[in-house]
Amino acid sequence: MNKIGIVTSGGDAPGMNAAIRAITRVACSKGVMVLGFERGWDGVITNTFTELTPRNVGGILHLGGTILRTSRSPNFRKHEGVKKAAKVLEHNQVDGLITIGGDGSMRGALELCKVSGTKVVGIPATIDNDVYGTEESIGFDTAVNTAIGEIDKIRDTANALERIFVVEVMGRKRGFLALTIGLTVGAEVILVPEVPYTIEDVVQTLETNRNKGKRSGIIVAAEGIGDTYKILKQIEQAAGMETRMTIMGYSQRGGSPTARSRLLANLFAEKAVELLINNQGKCMVGLENGEVTCTDLKTVCNNEKMLNLDLLKLAKTLAT
């Protein structure tokens, strides 16, 4: 293993830069050269990269986003694009590639493995935390903390005005963010795509709370549950309570990574380089049972990570 490449693809996540820095410094400490491809898979296809050195990755550990930029590359979704990428890697004598991203990136990595001799190791980095094979992805903890910081502020006004607030958090298909955020802010109602709900249930909960003396409330909803604004209007009408809306949006993606996102980035990076140096590939590093592990990319791509419904139940008990 003389030369490895790094790609950040898909949506960005806080801690990607920490991972880039850690990969570079660990690899260089073992005499391995590092290339950083720009703008996700597009940079591989178009052969656009910079050499990364311990010095030029200095000062990025705490920055959100990714210095390599990222993109959702339509070209790479076609077989031609994947073959082109394989050729570019071969041409540059890149023996190993580390792809940092979410499940889309892992599927891309698996496709690449099929046509390329380059060993590929994935590092899960997505605020959605929906990648199979790891309990936690880089960036998830940061996104959760950003959201709870904001929702704690909304709680101030909810209490002062005695109103209901709906907060839409990210999560088009999965409720990992919504569940953890809802549990840790003490949301009165948590709505996730995995669990069906009715407006009646929601209104019932709010009314029960009102009878108990809780005159304000926070509803945390994943964007994937449908048109949140419409739901808010329905709740407003059914419950006869004024409600207010916040769409957290992309502020959840950015910001300086938390300690935990940085730590995962460091540990995953170390493991990924180590795997490549041992000539292993077609796998993704992850956190399982508190240990840094390695899972076959096929297993990662063919399985769906399940939401912990016990946590949802606990959240309900705690919001009584």
**What residues numbered 220-249 form the site for a second copy, per CB under 8 A?**
244-249
* Residue from the set 37, 76, 165, 268 that interacts with a second copy by CB under 8 A: 165
Is 134 among the residues that bind a second copy (CB under 8 A)? no
Considering only residues 166-205, where is the footprint of a second copy by CB under 8 A? 167, 180-181, 183-186
Tell me the two tokens of residue 250. Answer: 């992309």
Is 11 among the residues that bind a second copy (CB under 8 A)? yes
Tell me the two tokens of residue 119. Answer: 């060993």
Radius of gyration of the chain from its Cα atoms, rounded to whole angstroms = 21
Is 208 among the residues that bind a second copy (CB under 8 A)? no
- Give residues with Cβ within 8 angstroms of 68, minimum separation 6: 6, 7, 8, 16, 20, 36, 37, 38, 39, 43
* Cβ proximity to a second copy, 135 vs 207, nearer residue: 135
* Cβ proximity to a second copy, 87 vs 244, nearer residue: 244
Question: How many residues of this chain interact with a second copy, rule: CB under 8 A?
Answer: 86
Is 117 among the residues that bind a second copy (CB under 8 A)? no
Rounded to whole angstroms, what are the CA distances from 242 to 76, 168, 227? 47, 17, 18
Q: Rounded distance, CA 43 to CA 252, Å?
A: 26
Name 121's bridge partners: 98, 283
- Give residues with Cβ within 8 angstroms of 269, minimum separation 6: 18, 19, 22, 23, 26, 98, 123
* Residue from the set 47, 50, 87, 135 that interacts with a second copy by CB under 8 A: 135
* Residue from the set 59, 74, 117, 226 that interacts with a second copy by CB under 8 A: 59
Count of CA atoms in the C-beta half-sphere (13 A) of 69 = 13
Are the C-beta atoms of residues 190 and 179 closer than 8 Å to each other?
yes
DSSP codes of every residue in 102-135: SHHHHHHHHHHHHH-SSEEEEEEB-TT---TT-S
Interacting stretch for a second copy, rule CB under 8 A, among 76-84, 110-118, 144-152, 199-207? 144-152
Question: Site mask, a second copy, residues 16-35, x = CB under 8 A?
Answer: -----xx--xx-xx------
128, 130, 156, 227: which one is catalytic? 128
Rounded to whole angstroms, what are the CA distances from 202 to 113, 205, 208, 214? 47, 5, 10, 15
* Residue from the set 48, 69, 83, 115 that interacts with a second copy by CB under 8 A: 69
Is 305 among the residues that bind a second copy (CB under 8 A)? no
* Cβ proximity to a second copy, 207 vs 270, nearer residue: 270
Is 290 among the residues that bind a second copy (CB under 8 A)? yes
Question: Has 12 been annotated as catalytic?
Answer: no
Is 38 among the residues that bind a second copy (CB under 8 A)? no
Which are the catalytic amino acids? 128
